[in-house]
Amino acid sequence: MNLKVGKSNGRTYLSIAHGYRDNETGKVRTKTIKSLGYLDVLEKEFPDPIAHFRKAVEEMNKKEALDNPPATINLDGKELIGEARTNRKNLGYAALSKIFHELELSTFFSNRSRELKTEYNVNNIMKLLVFSRILSPMSKKKTLENKGIYFENFYFTLDDIYRCLTFINTKRDALKLHLHRKIKEQYGRETELVYYDVTNYYFEIDEPDTLRKKGVSKEHRPDPIVQMGLFMDTMGIPISYDLFPGNTHDCSTLIPLLAKIKREYDIGRVIVVADKGMNTGMNVAFNLIKGDGYVYSQTVRGGHKELKDYVLDNSDYRQISDDYKIKSRLYPREIIVRDVNDKNKKVRIDEKQVVFYSKDYDKKAKAEREPALIKARELVNNPSKYNRATSYGAAKYVKNLQYDKKTGEIVITDQRPVFDEEKLREEEKFDGYYAIVTSEYKKTDEEIIEIYRGLWKIEESFKVTKSDLETRPVYLSREDHIQAHFLICFLSLVIIRILERRLGNVYSASRIIESLSNASCSVLEENWYVLDYADEITKAIYEKLGIDLRHKYLRLGNIRKIIGSTKKPDSPT
């Protein structure tokens, strides 16, 4: 605020005015807060009215400088909303900003971008893309159009974003290594035990290319896909990832990525935990040759007869409860490895097999099978309604099923489709049983099972990327841009996982994202904003991160202080 000295009807007139930035035009405007009167009249009451009221304004400004003092504003009930005006802004991104800066990502991007002779700011572009990927995932074009929801100076174009994607892709490995070092430094990351899994993302394109190729889709789609292998630590925070062409077998992704992170991240002996897709002779051999260990699941239904007999043999089980039993043994295994002459060679190893039965797993297996059984019985009764694609999952329970090689339609012959009761009975025998194989024979059965159960965290991470972060659809065609897109998704996943941890692992990623998205405010008048959302997560953000989103009314200056405080590279507490 300031004392305004002007002329009115030829006489000097004093008033107190307040300067503020217009939310629609961005220009500074003034508004009269209080009319004081004509100078010649005021001189009858005050020896020096100008000096008196300047001092009064100075005191008012001091009070206003407090965090959030009471204030009176005037609202015009007839005022209309400006068409181009951004009335709604997000404030929840302050929590993301704090993690972003604690990981010193701004420093990383600023330092790397010095080699660029461009006007755009790489750090600002990355902040917009990461924050928006978490809070409001959409295309790069839509993200730019929506930039006004943040209290940031995002001055760049769509072309700048695409150029930035090309640049940041060249720093992909450096960024992942930077994240690993900061997480190790700030959160004590341990890598003696790491989880690994593979998923894929489909692309609705006409023709495959060098990266997007036809392969086995997790979602059973015919579209070209990209494979992603992901390593995660015991805290549930991703360590690293890599993309592979869509026709790459899941099992062949482990060795190159594990070798890379062990070499570049200076990681010692690790125990790799993964599902049965990684349980191949080559992977086991690689683990052992490098001095590492493994904990892999082992298929029971698809296993050899000796394993099936061992699983169903009730002897040696330890009955932990009425619904749970467990047993284990050391058992020789013959694996195929490649020797120095690149020839296959059989090698015998001894590994520990841990088998357990759970009533809950039994119920789960039956529940998961039921939809396929319903479809199989419908298929038997009405085979003309189905084809190769629509009968997926149910076809294995139907005998005498034939498809036209060209059309995929079911061919009706004298031997009509029949429900395979024998197949069902054979599968049901193994419901509830689970087998794990491991190199860590000194660990107890319970320890091995507990280690393996941690794999659900990485499976959930893939769900977060596909649902909450909406990694696909990808509105990009160039491979370097696609690589950069997945890097942004990886970085977003790391930040949200760290935020989960900082909030005590009480809230899911989905709930946190929903809360931060809702934590928004609307411009009221004269740089005042009204906040209209609070929940237990915003309360926890205040208690754990010190970001105060509790006030219903905030001046723009106070909001900028909140955002500014998140940009200090303090170590997490």
* Per-residue pLDDT reduced to its tens digit, 355-407: 999 999 999 999 999 999 999 999 999 988 899 888 988 999 999 988 988 88
SS3 526: coil
Q: Average the pLDDT over each of 36-45, 320-329, 348-357 and give the range with the smallest value.
A: 36-45
8 A C-beta contact, residue 225 and residue 253: no
Number of Cβ atoms within 10 Å of the Cβ of 150: 21
Residue 82's CB: how many other CB atoms inside 10 A? 12
Output the pLDDT for position 22.
Answer: 61
140: burial class by Cβ within 10 Å (0-12, 13-18, 19+)? buried
Domain-by-domain residue ranges, the chain? 2-64, 301-436, 509-565
CB 237 within 8 A of CB 187: yes
113-121 average pLDDT score: 81
pLDDT of 410 above 70: yes
Residue type, 242: D
Vertex 151: Cα angle to 148 and 157 (nearest 5): 45
Residue 165's CB: how many other CB atoms inside 10 A?
23
Cα dihedral 448, 501, 189, 132 sign: positive
Q: Contact at 8 Å (CB) between 438 and 296?
A: yes
Task: Calculate mean pLDDT across residues 536-543.
Answer: 96
Q: What is the pLDDT of residue 65?
A: 60
pLDDT, residue 572, reads 67
- Please count the other Cβ atoms lying within 10 Å of the Cβ belonging to residue 519: 24
Alpha-carbon Rg for the chain, nearest whole angstrom, is 32
CA neighbours within 13 Å on the CB side: how many for 141?
Answer: 3
Q: How many CA atoms lie within 13 A of 238 on its CB side?
A: 29
Q: Which of 4-13, 204-213, 441-450 has the highest mean pLDDT?
A: 441-450
How far apart, in whole angstroms, are the C-alpha atoms of residue 132 and residue 163? 18
Q: How far apart are CA 93 and CA 103, in angstroms?
A: 15
What's the pLDDT score for residue 68?
58
Read off the pLDDT of residues 474-504 as tens digits, 9 standing for 90 and up: 999 999 999 999 999 999 999 999 999 999 9
Gap between the Cα atoms of 270 and 191, Å rounded: 6
Q: Is the pLDDT of residue 82 over 80?
A: no
Residue 154 in this model has a pLDDT that exceeds 80: yes
